[in-house]
Amino acid sequence: MRVGIGYDLHRLESGRPLILGGIEVPFDKGLAGHSDGDALAHAITDALLGAAALGNIGQHFPDTDPEFKDADSMELLRQSVGLVRDRGYAIGNIDANIIAQQPKLNPHLDAMRERLSDVMGIEIDRISVKAKTNELVGPEGRGEAMSTQAIVLLESGDAPSA
């Protein structure tokens, strides 16, 4: 078994859709970025790549490359799942946090889990997404940014069971 950790932070900006886990969440601001700014997809992608020691999202999908401008981050996640599977790993489970003062994300978390389950090709009960505020302090608490954290467990297909 191998574990990987991912973290991301994006600034909030007016006039952009808020995309998290491939779901558009109604809000008057969205996450800035070269891609669609989906910080949840980015943290999970980095955790996956990290668990397999395959580098990070920026190495595979550079934000200097016009190909990835406004990229669908869930498509990048799908490709990263492929890279990990190609090396013989299966995804055990994922746990993720979204740190955001506003809007209330709890009503949207199950939709994110469903979308992640579809894109990653794993059962929804292997995917946990949690949301918390930052107690009004720091960039997340002041509504300047949202950050995300993810941890992923990979299991080697040919590993002996414990």
Q: How many residues does the chain have?
A: 162
Q: Which is nearer to Mg ion, 8 or 140 (CB)?
A: 8
In 36-155, alpha helices (H)? 39-51, 57-60, 73-86, 109-120, 138-141
The one among 4, 6, 8, 89 contacting Mg ion by CB under 5 A: 8
Output the CA angle 32-39-49, nearest 5 degrees. Answer: 130
Shortest Cβ 158–Mg ion spacing (Å): 33
The one among 29, 42, 113, 115 contacting Mg ion by CB under 5 A: 42
Stretch binding Mg ion (CB under 5 A), from 41-49, 91-99, 101-109, 137-145: 41-49
Q: Is 113 in the site for Mg ion (CB under 5 A)?
A: no
Shortest Cβ 93–Mg ion spacing (Å): 22
Residue 76: name the closest of 19, 29, 132 by CA.
Answer: 19
